[in-house]
């Protein structure tokens, strides 16, 4: 077949047969049969007659020409034809490697970056990775920046962070404005948030390292407040409490100043982690802000009130409710210099000499922000008139907790203050709504007590409020209580003594029905909130003691008093109090800070037992933290165990991060050792897990 083709070529190119000679060395390939001179001559004459005879070849005659393929690539790029450009580039690279003109490669990557199809974006990422291995000198910062932004915008977080990590490695990081946009797209999804948080942690690590060397370029790669806010806000949205805690501490470690948005987000992270004492440290600073910042710090007070309820601290609840009611009176007049002041909030105990401190500027707001904080409104709401008000859910919690504690007179006092200061959704008749809701729930004694307290305080009480309680007494045959209330009602409302009890009740009931029909909105909202609160109470709740003990463990771990932390943990077990994820997370962090990796393996055994009994659920972020610590300690059996757990629960794994950590610490571990060469069973077993990890992480 090859000889026949050679004869055909000779017949068509008779004019050059005397000057060009060739011989057939073997018939195994087309390139071996025809010399380069004949192929170039063939292409220069553009004889199309034989093009069909080589269609089965992967590369046609035309694709073997250096010059023509470059022209085809340039033409395709000029016409923005990515399909043709990719084919031409692939053909050229197979024959000649990368073009000497690096601008062509840059233009190709840029063209692929502008594509809206994920297929071409992934091709661009693969090309960049290939360049980093074979021709790293061809990499260009602005080209990689466009690609990373395009990948992030197209919701391809994994490839986007691969490019970002490559840029960090090559010292080609874009400006903070561009990084904001990349992170803004990354944090739209949960996986993207995990990756953005890990990238931010890596950035902080490099910054701290460079700053320690007193490099002039340190400030250029220092993450700013906006970047932290983007990641922290995403951690709240996706309920990544442990990850948020880590990022928040990195913020303090790098010396980034927290603004009003930061404090609002940090409040929610502390709430998720049950860290009330940490959140309380901000209050003295937040209380100083002007009234124009109420909308920003509404979330702070919401989170603090929520934690007071979780800790079952009724006194703290009453104090905070009263403070919010009188908030406008508490705001002092500031001078401009005070507004610009930066305050330090310690993380952990105030007495720690080397402890982290968060820098905050409570009245600092970014002018050009890409962040839109959409905090939840559960307990405290913000009204357009600039007033903070309590939601029906907050009032329901307030009523239930004070009722349980038997502190009705204090409850009445708070309700009257909330009503007076217009700090509820329906402040004008709040107390009456509370009484009516209590009656519908059958809490007649509570309703009557609040009614008495209102009367003692000379608060206005409608007849319908009396009738609501009175009717319930009659329905329950509680005639003695009904008669006493009737007498009380006659005195308070000025009802004529000549009217019979039956007439009073009938007439008042009629008025109550008319009032309800004329203004039904909001009357039953509080009642339904109370019902829901009672249902939540009957469901399984975390005891307040757990929050107290976790707080103690947290502080001991931050102070590196790990023995005291473990004593508190053992005390929980003795009291049959089930440790939570926060309990274990605090202990793991404590051990990690002291590089006590072996103790983490023991703690992991306790965690597995709790999971087996169905008493514990571990988040992906804690699994990740365990995996990193086991890698640092070289416990590869535990590493693969964590990976199996994550795989079983379909949890995302950031392989690039684990791979980097391994290469940094164990690059040459057992690299050339075979199983047959292992000296002991322990070494053979460890080798097996090391090789399993290398395979999983795609190392070598």
Instruction: Tell me, letter by letter, the H, E, C secondary structure of 544-560.
Output: HHHHHHHHHHHHHHHCC
Alpha carbon distance 480, 114 (integer Å): 83
* Alpha-carbon Rg for the chain in angstroms: 36
Residue 369 vs residue 566, higher pLDDT? 566
Question: Which tens digit of pLDDT belongs to each residue from 272-293?
Answer: 999 999 999 999 999 988 666 7
User: What is the average pLDDT across 61-80?
Assistant: 79
User: What is the average pLDDT across 463-491?
Assistant: 87
pLDDT at 608: 96
Are 633 and 625 within 8 A, CB to CB?
Answer: no
Phi/psi at 518 (5° precision): -80, -25
Q: Where are the domains of the chain?
A: 65-174, 257-332+340-384, 391-494+524-536, 619-697
678 band by pLDDT with thresholds 50, 70 and 90: low
pLDDT for residue 504 is more than 80: no
Q: Which two tokens stand for residue 265?
A: 């987000």
Alpha carbon distance 230, 639 (integer Å): 30
Distances 233 to 53, 101, 237, 328 between C-alpha atoms, Å = 63, 44, 6, 28
Mean pLDDT estimate for the chain: 83
User: What is the average pLDDT across 353-366?
Assistant: 87
Helices (runs of H) and strands (runs of E) counted in the chain = 36, 4
Residue 44 vs residue 131, higher pLDDT? 131
Count CB-CB contacts under 10 A for residue 329: 8
31 band by pLDDT with thresholds 50, 70 and 90: very low
Strands 357-360 and 380-382: unpaired
CATH ID of 391-494+524-536, from 1.25.40, 1.20.1300, 1.10.8, 2.60.40: 1.25.40
Nearest Cα residue to 434 out of 392, 379, 485: 392
CA 638 from centroid of its chain's CA atoms: 26
Alpha carbon distance 501, 12 (integer Å): 125
Question: Which tens digit of pLDDT belongs to each residue from 564-580?
Answer: 999 999 999 999 999 99
Nearest Cα residue to 614 out of 535, 536, 544, 540: 540
pLDDT for residue 329 is more than 60: no
User: What is the average pLDDT across 432-436?
Assistant: 93
pLDDT for residue 38 is more than 50: no
pLDDT at 454: 92
Are 228 and 200 within 8 A, CB to CB?
Answer: yes
Are 144 and 167 within 8 A, CB to CB?
Answer: yes
pLDDT at 609: 95
pLDDT for residue 629 is more than 50: yes
Alpha carbon distance 489, 473 (integer Å): 14
338 band by pLDDT with thresholds 50, 70 and 90: low
pLDDT at 673: 66
- Cα dihedral 243→245→249→254 (10° resolution): 40
Q: Which two tokens stand for residue 264?
A: 């609002």
Is the C-alpha dihedral spanning 644, 647, 649, 651 positive or negative? positive
β-bridge partners, 314: none
Residue 295 vs residue 510, higher pLDDT? 295
> What secondary structure letter does DSSP report for 65?
-
Are 529 and 392 within 8 A, CB to CB?
Answer: yes
Residue 500 vs residue 362, higher pLDDT? 362
pLDDT at 567: 97
pLDDT for residue 218 is more than 80: no
646 band by pLDDT with thresholds 50, 70 and 90: very high
pLDDT for residue 552 is more than 80: yes
106 band by pLDDT with thresholds 50, 70 and 90: very high
- 65-174, which class in CATH? mainly alpha
Q: Which of 1-5, 249-253, 523-527, 619-623 has the lowest mean pLDDT?
A: 1-5
């Amino acid at each position: 077949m090859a000889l026949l083709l050679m004869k055909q070529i000779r017949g068509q190119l008779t004019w050059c047969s005397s000057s060009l000679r060739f011989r057939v060395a073997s018939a195994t390939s087309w390139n071996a049969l025809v010399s380069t001179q004949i192929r170039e001559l063939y292409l220069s004459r553009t004889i199309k007659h034989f093009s069909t005879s080589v269609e089965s070849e992967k590369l046609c005659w035309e694709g073997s020409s250096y010059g023509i393929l470059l022209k085809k690539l340039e033409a395709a790029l000029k016409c923005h034809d990515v399909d043709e450009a990719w084919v031409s580039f692939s053909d050229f690279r197979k024959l000649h490697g990368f073009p000497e003109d690096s601008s062509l490669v840059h233009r190709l990557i840029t063209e692929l970056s502008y594509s809206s199809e994920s297929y071409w974006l992934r091709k661009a990422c693969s090309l960049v990775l290939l360049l980093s291995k074979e021709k790293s000198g061809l990499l260009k910062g602005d080209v990689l920046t466009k690609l990373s932004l395009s990948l992030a915008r197209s919701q391809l977080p994994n490839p986007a962070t691969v490019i970002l990590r490559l840029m960090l490695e090559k010292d080609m990081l874009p400006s903070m404005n561009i990084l904001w946009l990349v992170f803004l797209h990354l944090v739209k999804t949960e996986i993207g948030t995990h990756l953005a948080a890990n990238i931010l942690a890596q950035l902080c690590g490099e910054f701290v390292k460079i700053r320690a060397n007193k490099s002039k370029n340190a400030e250029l790669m220092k993450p700013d407040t906006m970047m932290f806010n983007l990641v922290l806000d995403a951690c709240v949205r996706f309920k990544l409490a442990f990850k948020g805690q880590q990022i928040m501490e990195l913020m303090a470690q790098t010396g980034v100043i927290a603004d009003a948005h930061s404090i609002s987000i940090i409040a929610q992270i502390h709430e998720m982690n049950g860290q009330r004492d940490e959140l309380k440290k901000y209050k003295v600073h937040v209380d100083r802000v002007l009234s124009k910042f109420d909308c920003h710090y509404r979330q702070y007070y919401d989170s603090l009130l929520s934690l007071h309820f979780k800790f079952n601290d009724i006194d703290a609840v009453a104090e905070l409710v009263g403070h919010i009611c009188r908030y406008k009176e508490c705001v002092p007049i500031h001078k401009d210099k005070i507004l610009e002041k930066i305050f330090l909030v310690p993380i952990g105990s105030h007495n720690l000499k080397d402890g982290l401190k968060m820098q905050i500027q409570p009245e600092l707001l970014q002018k050009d922000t890409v962040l839109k904080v959409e905090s939840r409104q559960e307990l405290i709401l913000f009204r357009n008139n600039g007033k903070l008000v309590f939601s029906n859910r907050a009032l329901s919690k307030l009523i239930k907790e004070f009722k349980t504690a038997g502190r009705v007179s204090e409850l009445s006092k708070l309700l009257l203050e909330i009503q007076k200061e217009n700090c509820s959704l329906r402040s004008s008749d709040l107390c009456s709504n509370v009484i009516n809701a209590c009656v519908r729930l059958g809490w007649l004694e509570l309703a009557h007590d609040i009614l008495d307290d209102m009367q003692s305080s000379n608060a206005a009480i409608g007849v319908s409020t009396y009738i609501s309680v009175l009717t319930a007494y009659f329905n329950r045959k509680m005639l003695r209580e009904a008669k006493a209330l009737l007498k009380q009602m006659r005195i308070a409302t000025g009802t004529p003594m000549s009217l019979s009890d039956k007439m009073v009740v009938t007439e008042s009931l009629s008025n109550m029905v008319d009032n309800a029909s004329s203004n039904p909105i909001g009357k039953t909202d509080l009642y339904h909130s109370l019902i829901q609160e009672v249902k939540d109470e009957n469901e399984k709740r975390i005891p307040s003691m757990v929050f107290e003990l976790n707080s103690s463990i947290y502080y001991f771990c931050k102070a590196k008093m790990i023995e005291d932390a473990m004593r508190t943990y053992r005390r929980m077990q003795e009291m049959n109090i089930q440790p939570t994820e926060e309990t274990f997370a605090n202990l793991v962090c404590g051990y990690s800070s002291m590089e006590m990796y072996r103790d983490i393996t023991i703690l992991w055994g306790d965690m597995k037992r709790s999971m087996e009994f169905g008493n514990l659920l571990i988040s992906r972020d804690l699994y990740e933290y365990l995996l990193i610590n086991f890698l640092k300690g070289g416990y590869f059996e535990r590493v693969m165990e964590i990976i199996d757990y994550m795989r079983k629960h379909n949890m995302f794994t950031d392989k690039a991060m684990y791979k980097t950590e391994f290469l940094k610490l164990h690059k040459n571990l057992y690299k050339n050792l075979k199983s047959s060469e292992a000296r002991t069973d322990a070494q053979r077993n460890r080798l097996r897990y090391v090789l399993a990890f290398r395979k999983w992480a795609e190392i070598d």
